[in-house]
């Protein structure tokens, strides 16, 4: 009975881990870039890199003297090592080139597989929009240029680009936009272009695993099908 309880607990933990989402958060503002990855209780900060903490205890007179002594010892050992004489390399027997006809046959066998493989990849990607989630917390752009005319032109281009990007994102993911999150304004006063962005992309581990298994299963079916048709010919 205890074994069943342990097995049920293990299955429950695995199911919970597969149900958890992997979050990738990206933010930019005032010239500062931040990128973090979070999964369950694990959080990894990729950008900005963690600064090394300076410990005053590492810079005492004794420790500095020990480091210098160790470095001097390493340099002495390195200088004492004499360069080894390189042995003359034996000439390897030249390998006979493989039969070109066999290589051509192998290449020709792969050619019919390419269109089917592309179709298979697109079939898997079509299911991805149900799995991916994009949360836009802030997407505020201030567009400026040297003069008012250039600012207006650049503002129009940026507005169109943001609209097209959001439409494309909605086709490939479950997009969730916060209230007043997306905002593009022209900056006629200072003429500077600035951005305040905070977005988060997430996907369940089980979904990624499911898509991967589906791709592998369909690929094996395709491979067996092409192999059987080749043998029948």
The Cα diameter of the chain in Å comes to 82
Report helix, strand or coil for 196: strand
Which two tokens mark 146? 């040297």
d(CA 120, CA 222): 9
* DSSP H stretches of helix in 136-204: 148-172
pLDDT category, 47, cuts 50, 70, 90?
confident
Phi then psi for 221, rounded to 5 degrees? -60, -45
The rounded distance, in Å, linking the Cα atoms of 163 and 166 is: 5
Mean pLDDT, rounded, for 204-209: 86
**What DSSP designation does 44 have?**
E
**Closest Cα to residue 138, out of 21, 49, 25, 44?**
25
- Of 211 and 125, which is predicted with more confidence? 211
Q: Which residues does 137 contact at the CB level (< 8 Å), separation at least 6?
A: 178, 181, 198, 199, 200
Q: Which is more confidently placed, 212 or 54?
A: 212
Q: Do the bridges between strand 194-204 and strand 32-39 make them parallel or antiparallel, or are there none, so unpaired?
A: unpaired
CA 85 to chain centroid, in Å, comes to 46
3-state secondary structure of 179: coil
Q: What is the pTM of this model?
A: 0.63
Over the chain, what is the mean pLDDT?
80
For residues 50 and 46, give the distance between their C-alpha atoms in angstroms, rounded to a whole number: 9
Question: Which tokens hold the place of 143?
Answer: 């567009």
- pLDDT, residue 25, reads 94
Instruction: Name the residue with higher pLDDT: 74 or 49.
Output: 74
pLDDT at residue 230 in the model: 67
Task: Determine the Cα–Cα distance for residues 135 and 179; give it in Å rounded to an integer.
Answer: 11
Q: What pLDDT, in 10s, does the model give residues 87-100? A: 555 555 555 455 55
Band (pLDDT 50/70/90 cuts) for residue 56 is: low
Neighbour count for residue 202 (Cβ, 10 Å): 19
Task: Flag the least confident range among 55-69, 96-110, 112-126, 197-211.
Answer: 96-110
């Amino acid at each position: 009975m205890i074994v069943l309880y342990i097995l049920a607990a293990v299955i429950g933990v695995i199911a919970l881990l597969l149900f958890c989402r992997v979050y990738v958060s990206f933010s930019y503002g005032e010239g500062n870039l931040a990128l973090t990855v979070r999964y369950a209780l694990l959080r990894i900060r990729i950008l900005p890199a963690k600064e090394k903490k300076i410990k005053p205890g590492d810079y005492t007179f004794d420790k500095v003297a020990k480091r210098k002594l160790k470095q001097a010892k390493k340099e002495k050992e390195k200088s004492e090592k004499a360069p080894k004489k390189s042995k003359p390399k034996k000439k390897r027997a030249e390998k006979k080139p493989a039969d070109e006809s066999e290589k051509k046959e192998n290449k020709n066998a792969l050619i019919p597989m390419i269109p089917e493989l592309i179709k298979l990849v697109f079939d898997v990607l079509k299911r991805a929009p149900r799995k991916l989630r994009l949360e836009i917390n802030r997407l505020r752009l201030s567009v400026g240029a040297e003069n008012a005319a250039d600012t207006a032109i650049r503002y129009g281009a940026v507005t169109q680009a943001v609209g097209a990007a959001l439409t494309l994102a909605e086709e490939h993911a479950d997009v969730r936009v916060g209230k007043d999150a997306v905002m593009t304004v022209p900056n006629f006063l200072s003429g500077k272009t600035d951005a305040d962005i905070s977005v988060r992309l997430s996907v369940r581990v089980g979904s990624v695993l499911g898509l991967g298994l589906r791709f592998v299963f369909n690929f094996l079916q395709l491979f067996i099908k092409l192999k059987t048709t080749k043998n029948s010919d």
